[in-house]
Structure 1
């Protein structure tokens, strides 16, 4: 009997890692998070998954390995993979740069951050107690360099003493694997069977060749989107904000609101989560002077359209922005499957962006904005641009 390899997921958030691992043939047995909205999202989208949330002692600082194993219905050593991305804000340059660097509250504190910087050590403790055959830590690249790398070295030492072989940590950019977004992330992987997990070979590049496809673009990600999809609500901006946004060129930042207009023919800038207490934030639509909806951001993160995020709008953005893109997670899961368990997962990647000609997708996106949201179109877009491509798409049953 060919049983699926089992996974325990910590710091699960919106479920991006979990989606990717399940697409690669793994079975997630347990998800753990402390944000109530994330728990609701997970229960909705994974109805058969055991979930520990804030009402179920889902705080990793309080949990013990035996609690995880009981909830997952596993014994010590039976879990095949433990996955998780401890909150990245203490290690993130992006988080620090969004605020005044002199503000003590927003300094890049790394492992010294009392409420979040220590969570990676609790993660290591739970790995010791559960003894999964493989563990994966995902985070921003800063986790490898903050404090001169001394903090993460402590984690290595803790787990090496428990018999884990730590693969050479690596940093990947999600756009190099087909995600329509520039998003650099670090991965640390350890195994109990002395196997080494290698960095996946990139499949996409700026200059495509026989081995690499071109980067997936914003226009390709947003192609054919229906306004009726869940989480498609857009924010109503003040008139003066819209006027400021309309003056931006592709890729430019509006300094007052600290938002960027995306270039439709390039991968998106990193999808962000926004602050933990305020409203969620997103980039500006390429052709409409407004911030992107949660669903549009989810497309840039490669979440499927039927995956619904619950909670207030700001917390939906948090779930999407903090997630590992399911496509990148699927790539990582396939690499672990091959390098550790000797099983090559064949077939197309489940969360790959559908291949459309980038220029045609861009024409479609522009025409749709002109036709349906003319009042929001940027100043540099000609209102008389041809919209025949949109009408052709509609006649070809592209859902709008």
Structure 2
């Protein structure tokens, strides 16, 4: 169930590909060509009408909490119960009302009353479905901010726990709640002792991103007694930004206003690099100066990237023995999709260059106080602390910060670690940090694509949680 149009189209196409592969054992050639940018999007019903019908029934354009959605859900539940002995429910209510950023924005709205914001209570629609469906198990996901979000001086998480605990009262089995514990390269389901036990760190599962989410697993009480809660191995390798995006083709940033060509871009970057080289011409800043000087030299020698977009497959693509890259790379593809840079203001190019060079030389992203005066943005409050992290580079040798939907608005928090490229992350790079396989295509315009990537659960994490649940029920 998805109310946003472009996200729904993405999910419907994915359902189509999943059904098609299950039926035929391969992905349709029309998708491979569309994915590589060689053809326009086909009429998928003409590729396989039966599979497209199934996909359209599976991925629904509906808004959780509406009467139309409730009726569709009730019908789906009745069908499932008629066709299957047991089911598993997976989902997460919309989280804007719980997220720290969302709450900050809401406080800034005139006459905003949290109690009147229906999004705070959408978890109850999940509870309603859970109560009707009575699955063998459920997995519920939400942002970490749900633990501290309050309505009428009550924690939303407390209300959720009460509702989950009341399920089954008077008519059947209840649900035993489990959190996920990671120790020594293994994960297992455990009985939680406190609310923070439900917080899952994605990087502990090999996801190259410091993403923390609340994940609650519930097992129906008649099955919980015999559930296998032994630990299973997970991908405990610490994967970094460079591990997953380092092999993608190098790109130059675009210029959002005025002339946007290679010559203009090179001139702007070279000018910024030369300025910074001169500013840091001191012994104590020699490490930084060396990075700036190398950029000037690289541009002079023609080594700087010239393309804004590239679909070229990296060398030895699909041959990696690394577990995560083996999950991301798909040998059936003819190209990389959605690896295209957006335009940046000329004044920001120097700031991006400074941030990435700073991170490369010193191993951390600069704060506002680290910027030279010559690169200060035209903000009156630049030194008040409000803009302390206004520009943030993703460090090559570490996991990234949380990829959020804010990446759709600007790239200031998601600067590429390579100073020579001087840009923010592409949709494909953000998708790789989220561990989406390269064959996962996001429909809609680029802004909508970024939003879909930022709002997602990392598939590589989801797969490992699925393995935990499967083991428990088996």
Deviation per residue, 1:84-111 (Å, 9 max, x gap)? 12222222224456x6x961479995xx
Q: Tell me, what secondary structure is at the counterpart of 1:283?
A: coil
Tell me by how many angstroms 1:334 deviates: 0.7
Aligned to 2:354, which of 242, 247, 253?
247
Q: What is the 5 A alignment of 1:210-229?
A: 212-213=236-237, 215-226=238-249, 227-228=310-311, 229=336
Gaps of 5+ in 1: 1-31, 205-211, 343-400
Q: What is the 5 A alignment of 1:276-295?
A: 279=409, 283-287=414-418, 288-295=421-428
- Is the Cα contact below 8 Å between 2:64 and 2:70 reproduced in 1? no
1:264/1:154 CA distance change after superposition, 3 Å: same
Partner of 2:163: 158
Partner of 2:337: 230
Q: Tell me, what secondary structure is at the counterpart of 1:75?
A: helix
Q: What is the 5 A alignment of 1:312-331?
A: 312-331=445-464
Report the TM-score, using the length of structure 1 for normalisation.
0.65
Instruction: List 4+ stretches of structure 1 deviating above 6 A.
Output: 105-108, 196-202
CA distance in 2, matches of 1:270, 1:243: 24
Higher relative contact order (CA 8 A, sep 6+): 1
Q: Which moved more, 1:302-311 or 1:160-169?
A: 160-169
CA distance in 1, matches of 2:113, 2:99: 7
1:92/1:83 CA distance change after superposition, 3 Å: same
**Higher relative helix content:** 2
Partner of 1:43: 12
Aligned to 1:92, which of 99, 124, 127?
99
- Is the Cα contact below 8 Å between 2:6 and 2:444 reproduced in 1? yes
Larger Cα-atom Rg: 2
Deviation per residue, 1:254-286 (Å, 9 max, x gap)? 7499341111000001101028xx746560100
Aligned to 1:81, which of 75, 88, 110?
88
Gaps of 5+ in 2: 20-54, 169-173, 179-191, 250-309, 312-335, 360-364, 369-386
Partner of 1:170: 198
Tell me by how many angstroms 1:203 deviates: 4.9
Tell me by how many angstroms 1:155 deviates: 2.7
Aligned to 2:207, which of 179, 184, 190?
179
Q: Tell me, what secondary structure is at the counterpart of 1:90?
A: coil
Partner of 1:103: 108
Q: Over aligned residues, Cα RMSD in angstroms?
A: 3.2
CA distance in 1, matches of 2:223, 2:148: 25
Deviation per residue, 1:349-394 (Å, 9 max, x gap)? xxxxxxxxxxxxxxxxxxxxxxxxxxxxxxxxxxxxxxxxxxxxxx
Tell me by how many angstroms 1:300 deviates: 0.3
Partner of 1:362: none
Q: Which moved more, 1:322-331 or 1:152-161?
A: 152-161
Tell me by how many angstroms 1:331 deviates: 1.1
Q: Tell me, what secondary structure is at the counterpart of 2:138?
A: strand
CA distance in 2, matches of 1:271, 1:106: 30
Q: What is the 5 A alignment of 1:1-400?
A: 32-47=1-16, 48=19, 49=55, 50-54=57-61, 57-63=62-68, 67-68=72-73, 70-71=75-76, 73-75=79-81, 78=85, 80-96=87-103, 103-104=108-109, 112=115, 114-147=117-150, 150-161=155-166, 162=168, 163-167=174-178, 168=192, 170-192=198-220, 193-195=222-224, 203=234, 212-213=236-237, 215-226=238-249, 227-228=310-311, 229-248=336-355, 249-250=358-359, 251-252=365-366, 255=387, 258-274=390-406, 279=409, 283-287=414-418, 288-339=421-472, 341-342=473-474
- Is the Cα contact below 8 Å between 1:301 and 1:325 reproduced in 2? yes
CA distance in 2, matches of 1:256, 1:313: 27
